[in-house]
Amino acid sequence: MPDAWSPDSWRRFPAEQQVTYDDPAALSEAIGRIRRLPPIATSWEIEKLKSQLAAAGRGERFLLQGGDCNERFVDCESHVIDAKLKILLMMSAVLTWGGGRPVVRVGRIAGQYAKPRSEPNETRDGVTLPAYRGDLVNSIEFTPEARRPDPLNLVRAYNRSALTLNFIRSLLAGGFGDVHHSALWDMKWAVSSEREAEYHTLLRDMQAAVRFLDASVGRPLGELSVVDFYCSHEGLHLEYESAASEQPPMRSAWYDLSTHMPWIGERTRRLDGAHVEFFRGIQNPIGVKVGPTMAPDELVQLVDTLNPADEAGRITLIVRMGASTVHTRLPPLLDAVRRAGRFVTWCCDPMHGNTFKTASGIKTRHFDDIVREVDANFEVHAAAGTVLGGVHFEMTGRDVTEVLGGSCGLTEADLLRNYESDVDPRLNYAQSLELAFLVAQRLRNV
Ligand code: PEP
Ligand code: CO
């Protein structure tokens, strides 16, 4: 029987990737401010997402989770947010229309500000400073002042998350996701892509179908004009996550109200660790990253600890193995979870197992490896008779050059042209949309 849970019980467990602040009074002050601020997400939205993720786990819906590896404070600007939302909505239209299932849209947005790091420090030209851990903690510039963890960043991150989600909600409430408005679906194909024609055909077909339905019903279909959208981030910084957790009025349990769907990263998922302790007590649907070293019995214990009541939609396992590892490593995990009789929603992150450095030292991924990992997931699930319930991508609405390949044909020489990410390489919008088409094709054949 585990000990009683409280929003602070994680403090009794070893916590990885946490931050040491040199001014504890300033940290308490920042935490106190976050506790008093209104929530970013509400418990009823969170419960609605949980039921949609349960449906994705049964194959009745499909999860599209995507966004930056690392959201930046400087990117809290209307045109940047607008571009991210637009590409996610386009991908979801492609998946709904082409894949034939309603899509659950979850951004890595409005709070994806904390990054786990493999080394606590970074050394450049003989100078060693604390590693950059995301804007939630410190700043990226390589100076002692910038790298000093600043507790006020927690409040800044909370405020920007609220601003971001507020803008997204307003755009969607105003019909930004409305399939009737073709102008909103217009995208600038800066790089020529074979997908451009395919995209326009899909758009025309989709709009014809909507016109047909409108005409049949005799009025515009209201349901299609406001779409659901949820946010997610890695729940890495436990001071921050616990400060944002509440027991909402009329509810008997705790929710992390900093986001809809927090996830536990690959580096912090140990069974006896502080992250698992914190996450087991909140009611949100949660993601858990599952890498190639996860043992089947360890996974079952993790699922048991995090979801003892076996509530559907509570756990999404975000598998990130690397394209060549899925066929050997995933089947035993599917088998173990099935034998244990546990309900989970399986999702594929084809990004994090496929990162490598080019000869000139640039961190990248190849589009073909990403597609191979998605394909391997579909194949393994088909063979096991289980359901692939979604995908998880690092992507952006901009024309960046961070991932090699795709029908826009990015080469190593192109990487230098427009590489913006400070952490992991993201799909640009043409690559993102192309991937949505490929996933939709696979989904149609399931
Ligand atoms: C991430 O999603 O950016 C990340 C760090 O992933 P993982 O925990 O799977 O390595
Ligand atoms: Co990443």
Asked whether residue 205 is domain-assigned, the answer is no
Asked whether residue 222 is domain-assigned, the answer is no
Domain with residue 159: its CATH number is: 3.20.20.70
175 lines ligand 1 (CB under 6 A): no
Task: Give the chain's domain count.
Answer: 1
Q: Name the maximum alpha-carbon separation found in the chain.
A: 72
292 lines ligand 1 (CB under 6 A): no
Asked whether residue 99 is domain-assigned, the answer is yes
Q: Which ligand is nearest to the CA of 269?
A: 1
Q: Is the pLDDT of residue 191 over 80?
A: no
Give the model confidence (pLDDT) of 114-156 as tens digits.
999 999 999 999 999 999 999 999 999 999 999 999 999 999 9
Asked whether residue 395 is domain-assigned, the answer is yes
Ligand 2 centroid–CA 249 distance in Å is: 35
Asked whether residue 198 is domain-assigned, the answer is no
In which domain, by residue range, is 136 found? 9-177+227-444
Which helix (H) or strand (E) element contains residue 339? helix 326-339
pTM over 0.85: yes
DSSP 8-state assignment for residue 434: H
Exposed/middle/buried for residue 219 (C-beta within 10 Å: 0-12, 13-18, 19+): exposed
Asked whether residue 197 is domain-assigned, the answer is no
Pocket test for ligand 1, best of 234, 264, 275, 395 (most atoms within 8 A of CB): 234
Q: Quote the pLDDT of residue 117.
A: 96
Ligand 2 centroid–CA 67 distance in Å is: 10
Q: Quote the pLDDT of residue 243.
A: 98
Nearest atom of ligand 1 to the alpha carbon of 70? 3
269 lines ligand 1 (CB under 6 A): no
Ligand 1 centroid–CA 236 distance in Å is: 10
Give the model confidence (pLDDT) of 77-112 as tens digits.
999 999 999 999 989 988 988 888 999 999 999 999
Distances (CA, A) of 44 to 47, 300, 387: 5, 28, 26
Q: Compute the average pLDDT of residues 207-229.
A: 71
Q: Quote the pLDDT of residue 88.
A: 94
More confident residue, 353 or 1: 353
Kindly report which listed range (96-110, 307-321, 378-392) carries the lowest average pLDDT score: 96-110
Q: How confident is the model at residue 223 (pLDDT cuts 50, 70, 90)?
A: low
Mean pLDDT of the chain, nearest integer: 93
Q: Is the pLDDT of residue 419 over 60?
A: yes
Q: Is the pLDDT of residue 62 over 60?
A: yes
Asked whether residue 195 is domain-assigned, the answer is no
Asked whether residue 27 is domain-assigned, the answer is yes
Pocket test for ligand 1, best of 17, 267, 363 (most atoms within 8 A of CB): 267
Q: How confident is the model at residue 387 (pLDDT cuts 50, 70, 90)?
A: very high
Alpha carbons within 13 A on the beta-carbon side of 252: 0
Give the distance, in angstroms, between the CA of residue 333 and the centroid of all CA atoms in the same chain.
Answer: 22
